[in-house]
Amino acid sequence: MAQKKSKEEVVEEMQKVVEQMRLDDIADNPDSANEYFQCDACGQDAPLAGSIQYGHYRLCNDCVLLAEVGFELKQLTDIQELIDKMEDKRLEADCEFIKQDQLRHAQKVLNEDSLN
Ligand SMILES: [Zn+2]
């Protein structure tokens, strides 16, 4: 019987998977590390390497990690949910101060979550 993985284990495992995708992309096409696109989720300019096309959206390597962890933990049922959740972040992509603030908030939420 498969053991239920903890959130930390899922994140750790997915980090490896997603990093491997990025390395594979660079191995297949070295230019992909230097070609940039605008991520549909976070709105940042990100290298094509490690990005994935989900339906109409192309997500950067960081957002692919979020998406895959979300799917694995059943926090997301489709990619549209992630896009909607990221909308605020996208709008504030220019504002480093708010981004830092959100990061701290996200870390706090994650920490509180893992205590339960
Ligand atoms: Zn992104």
pLDDT tens for each residue of 98-115: 556 667 777 777 777 655
pLDDT for 99: 58
Task: Please give the model's pTM, rounded to 2 decimal places.
Answer: 0.74
Q: Which residue has the tokens 């990221």?
A: 86
Mean pLDDT of the residues in the chain: 86
Question: Domain residues of the chain, as ranges?
Answer: 7-87
Give how far Cα 16 sits from Cα of 23, 47, 96, 105, Å.
10, 18, 27, 25
In the reported structure, the alpha carbon of residue 1 is separated from the centroid of ligand 1 by a whole-number distance in angstroms of 35
For residue 3, the CA-to-ligand 1 centroid distance in Å is 31
pLDDT tens digits, one per residue of 25-54: 999 999 999 999 999 999 899 999 999 999
